[in-house]
Structure formats: structure tokens, C-alpha cells
Amino acid sequence: MIGSPAKSPPTVTQTDLHTQILRAHDTGDQTALITLYTLAADQSEDVDAECFFLTYAYIFALELGHSATDELAARLKRYKRL
């Protein structure tokens, strides 16, 4: 689920995730970017890194009016980043 605060075990390697994020940027696939940045946040072991990725997911969600916007905002608010 997008925006889920629960940490999940890595489902993709960091290298694969990085490649997918770059590809989504290249193709302008903002929906994929929301999912990928959220996944990167979920896999982050550091709060600052998690919030960095959540911020990007949130920005793309805002731009699209995506249904994950509120969940992403709530996660950022829990860390006092929004």
C-alpha cells in the first residue's frame, strides 16, 4: 500500500530501484515515481533518507491529485517534516 508506515522487507534491490526511478523520470511516469519513491522510503533505514523519498513521492502525488497524497502527508507529519 502506498504511504504505509510499516517497513517492508526489500522487494527490489537498491540498484534495481535506482534504475527504475531514473527510467520513470526519463519517461515522465509520475504515477510510477510515486510508487517507486514510496518504496524507496519504505526500504530506507535512516529517517532522513525516508523523509527525502517521501517528500518526492508526496510532490508527485500532489501534482497528480493522486489518492496517496493524504497518506504520504500523514507520514511526513509524523516526522514533523510537513
Q: How many CB atoms lie within 10 A of CB 51?
A: 20
User: Which pLDDT does position 73 carry in this prediction?
Assistant: 98
Asked whether the beta carbons of 35 and 2 are under 8 A apart, the reply is: yes
CA distance 69 to 6: 17
pLDDT beyond 50 at 1: no
Tens-digit pLDDT profile for residues 28-40: 999 999 999 999 9
Q: How confident is the model at residue 5 (pLDDT cuts 50, 70, 90)?
A: low
pLDDT beyond 50 at 49: yes
User: Which pLDDT does position 11 carry in this prediction?
Assistant: 65
